[in-house]
Amino acid sequence: MHGPPVDYREIAPSVVQITMQDQEHKNTFSDQLITGLQDAFAKVAADERCKAVVLTGYGNYFASGGTKESLLLIQERRISFTDADIYGLALDCPVPVIAAMQGHGIGGGFAMGMFADFVILSQESIYTTNFMKYGFTPGMGATLILPRKLGMSLAGEMLLSAKTYYGHELKERGVPFPVLPRADVLHHALELAGTLAEKPRVSLVTLKSHLVSELRAELPRYIEREVAMHEKTFHQPEVRALITSHYTGG
């Protein structure tokens, strides 16, 4: 691993870049990555100078979802995905968050990016909500945020089929986000962050709170329903077999 799993950097006095760079685990949700993300967003919330956050990954990876070990622990009823609330970090952040998804967004990693206020995808990267590949129903708030951001038709297809899509394929399907060459994603995000930083912070915080108020109110109910679905689906013996034999992570 090169450097800390999560790098926190002030790009400008009012702009923070949070980079997930856990190369050892290919940005799966390792304990180190989770703790790093929680600490980084806590710093943002405490920094009254910050007006915008750019959340990105390294190389070919944005975020790769749960580790094999954590999925098996959920299957054994030893933990729940709700034990570490990283899915709501961007939504709960007081200032706008830009998900510069320059690399692959897989499972919960894709869902986490969708909770950002702005999303930028890469033409060359793959995006998937692959929960059902392993036989269990989606978590991480995916059943709420995907229909809201992508529309019911595409979201339903992604969630039910667990298919993998290249960014350029999603662009052809009409996703309402910029889909750019990988090399351009972060630059575009930083330009957007600079535009946001020109506004008064109080106005940004007030408007974001208004725009996401319904999502913030609805998310706990959706998480409760996703946990209930997990009780029905996650603990099947075939799910354990599928995780054991088919898990590819990042």
| Catalytic site positions | 230
- Strand 15-20 versus strand 97-101 pairing type: unpaired
Neighbours of 166 (CB within 10 A): 17
The letter for the amino acid at 214 is E
How many angstroms separate the CA atoms of 97 and 212, rounded? 12
**Contacts within 8 Å (CB) and 24+ apart, 134-137:** 134/71, 134/239, 134/242, 134/243, 134/246, 134/247, 135/233, 135/236, 135/238, 135/239, 135/242, 136/75, 136/230, 136/233, 136/234, 136/236, 136/239, 137/226, 137/229, 137/230, 137/232, 137/233, 137/234
Query: Positive or negative, the Cα torsion across 101, 189, 171, 141?
Result: positive
